Amino acid sequence: MEENNKVIETIGLSKYFYDPIKFQVIKEVDLSINHGEFVAIEGKSGSGKSTLLYLLSTMDTDYEGQLFIHNELVTGQGDAQLAKIRNEKIGFVFQFHYLLLEYNVLKNVMLPGLKFGKYSEKELEQRAMDHLKTLGMDTHALKMPNQLSGGEKQRVAIARALINDPLIIMGDEPTGNLDKKNGDLVFDIFKKLAKEFNQTILVVTHDIDFAKRTDRIITMEDGRIIS
Amino acid sequence: MNFKLILNIAFHLLKARLKQTIVAAVGVTFGIAMFITLISFMGGLNEMLDGLMLNRTPHILLYNEVKPSENQPLSLSEEYKNHTKFIHSIKPKDRGKSVYNSQSIIKVLKQDKRIIDVAPKVTASVLFNSGTIEISGFVNGIDMLAEDKLFKISDYITEGKIADLAQNNSVIIGIGLANKMLLSKGDIIKITTSNGDLTPLKIVGISEIGIAEIDNVMSYTSLATAQKILGQPKSYITDIQVNLYDKESAVELAKEFRKEFNIDTIDYQTANAQFETGSTVRSIISYSVGIVLLIVAGFGIYNILNMMIYEKMDSIAILKATGFSGSDVKWIFISLSIIIGLTGGIFGLLFGFIFSNIIDVIPFETTSLPTVKTYPIVYNIIYYIIGIVFAFCTTIIAGLFPALKASKVDPVEIIRGK
Ligand SMILES: Nc1ncnc2c1ncn2[C@@H]1O[C@H](COP(=O)(O)OP(=O)(O)OP(=O)(O)O)[C@@H](O)[C@H]1O
Ligand SMILES: [Mg+2]
């Protein structure tokens, strides 16, 4: 039973960059994250936090070692399967709220759901509205992304990350680009998701205050996890 | 793969770059419109020139050629069978120009389902006399109904009627002949045949083919009159002209008739080989111009898609991060180019049709083709199908490389690069 509780597990994860010289960014990282945990990865600038997150997200496939998501080995899987895993099991929130400028807020939230195809368009619209309401963004549903403030965009990105009921939400400095007030707001949302919905969350940050308020802090230094 | 979603994304990307999209599509429209217009016009010209030829040339002509016997007596000899033989001073035997057994051949041909009609003809070179002038020329004894059916000869009769030839000893003469001899309808012209017989004929009409060489020497009369002035029986026929429902089969059928009736045959293609060359050259020109225009349009599409990929790197990265595979992204961009190509192409067909219509009403008069009043245009659905297939292919090829590039965009690089 304990085995099934792991959302993400890595064994001996290593990554090298070759340009301009060969150098190891991630060094033999063994890590596991359990269901329902709210985890922060913290560490100095350049310690490899973002790089590690991209590896865990399956977007970066150039690494050594093994990566399991939901106890399934994803290392070595093809582009299409990895895309499917990202679509169904992982929700992303980036520092720079990447929304599709061509679509309105509601459609942005719905898009990964449309790709998944589990719910009908009607149901998805309902679910998207529910998530937007939870995040206090329902009144902005029909706006275009460029009509929103940074904090609002980030909340839309969180709603989008939630649309397929992901196993885990990952964020690379999701509050890094926001002022204190908006950053706190976003943090509170994460906290609430973790507490009320038992949502697994993994966030990279170098905001120590932010990190301290999570359940578990992973500290990185020089490509290694030191605690 | 969810094509509805992919198309939806493609449309939204296009909407965001509407102006450039329209410019790219207009390139395709222009190429296709020019192609359709050119090919329809060239097709019209080809058909007109073919008509010019086919109006006078039967699909197959059966006749008796004056030539030496292919099997000389020596070749029957057993003794010299394996020798190389040289025979000098062979002269053809005069079997006459008459088609042997013409009546039964005509009967058989008339029953052939592949044949539209058969027009028997008697041609003879004669001398036309009027007063002191003597001009050499030809008289064609024709079966009026059949000749009109096959060659629309009445289109070229400028005075009188073809049916008037049914009167005994009547003739229709070429306009050149009439002008030279100062003759007009109702006058009498005397005709001397090669064996010296002189027959006066009444002119009941004037013909104008529009080609001076023909109008200066040609005359028409009925089969019976021609046979009479030549002093020949009713079975005397020199040419049997045949038109087919499927003129492309002329070559084969000519061969078949040659064997079956043991007679000389010639199909219209062989008789007019130079016309075919002209048609082919015109077709090649229109196709090459069309293809060149489309290649230019293709580069336009390639450019806009490439530009779009650079602009939409963020969007591509997001799509990939949220679960769209490389192949999904590739199809989004291929759909983009197909949308541009198809809309551009369909408008191209429309404009091509409109331009063709405009050309079709521009006046164009020529005496050699009295039925042609405007520039010729052919409306052929095949041209339009080729046009849209062209548009489709060029845009797919133009879109393929940018699409492959887009599918390989590494989202990590984009997200990290901010
Ligand atoms: N594409 C690349 N090629 C070569 N080296 C790279 C590349 N990307 C990152 N690095 C290096 O890898 C190391 C780790 O980078 P990473 O972005 O993971 O750091 P980080 O911990 O996220 O830092 P920050 O807190 O500043 O975001 C850095 O030393 C960086 O210079
Ligand atoms: Mg970082």
d(CA B24, CA B17): 11
CB-CB under 8 Å, A116 with B15? no
With 0-12 CB in 10 A as exposed, 13-18 as middle and 19+ as buried, what is B65? exposed
Helix axes B326-360, B3-16, angle to 10 degrees: 70
Tell me whether residues B323 and A96 touch, CB distance under 8 A.
no
Rg (CA), chain B: 33
CATH topology of domain A35-62+75-222: Rossmann fold (3.40.50)
Q: Hey, is A72 helix, strand or coil?
A: strand
Which stretches within chain A are classed as H helix?
49-56, 79-89, 105-116, 121-134, 150-162, 180-197, 208-212
pLDDT of residue A3: 53
Residue with tokens 């991060």, as numbered in its chain: B321
Query: Which value does ipTM take for this structure?
Result: 0.91
User: Beta strand pairing status for B239-244 and B218-222?
Assistant: unpaired
- Give me the sign of the Cα torsion angle B143, B145, B150, B156: positive
Cβ pair B217, B140 in contact under 8 A: no
Report pLDDT digits (tens) over B268-321. 888 877 777 777 888 888 788 878 877 887 887 788 778 888 888 888 998 999
Task: Give the three-state DSSP class for B128.
Answer: strand
Please determine, for residue A221, whether its predicted confidence score (pLDDT) is greater than 60: yes
Task: Work out the angle between the directed axes of helices B273-311 and B326-360 (0-180°, nearest 10).
Answer: 140
Tokens found for residue B416: 């990290």
Q: Which two tokens stand for residue B333?
A: 């961009």
Q: Do B418 and A95 touch (CB under 8 A)?
A: yes
Q: Under a CB-based contact definition with an 8 Å cutoff, are residues B116 and B244 in contact? A: yes
Mean pLDDT value across chain A: 90
Distance B324 CA to ligand 2 centre (A): 24
Structure token pair of residue B235: 């079975």
DSSP B99: P
* pLDDT at position A207: 80
pLDDT band of residue A97 (cuts 50, 70, 90) is: low
The model's pLDDT over B193-224, given as tens digits with 9 standing for 90+, comes to 888 888 899 999 999 887 888 889 999 999 99
Q: Could you state, in order of their start, the residue ranges of all structural domains in chain A?
A: 35-62+75-222
Over residues A47-66, the mean pLDDT reads: 93
Closest protein CA for atom 25 of ligand 1: A45
Q: How many CB atoms lie within 10 A of CB A112?
A: 27
The shortest C-alpha distance from B343 to chain A (Å) reads: 21
Ligand 1: distance of its center to the CA of A25 in Å?
Answer: 8
* CA–CA distance, A95 with A109 (Å, rounded to integer): 17
Render each residue's pLDDT in chain B as its tens digit; 418 residues: 688 999 999 999 888 888 888 988 898 898 889 889 988 988 888 888 777 777 778 889 888 877 666 677 777 778 877 888 787 877 766 656 788 888 888 888 889 888 889 999 999 889 998 778 888 999 999 998 888 888 888 888 888 888 888 888 999 999 999 998 888 889 999 999 888 888 899 999 999 887 888 889 999 999 999 999 888 888 889 999 998 888 888 888 889 988 888 888 888 888 877 777 777 888 888 788 878 877 887 887 788 778 888 888 888 998 999 999 999 999 999 998 899 889 999 999 999 999 999 999 999 887 666 677 888 898 999 989 988 998 888 888 888 999 999 999 888 888 887 5
DSSP state of B70: S
DSSP A175: T
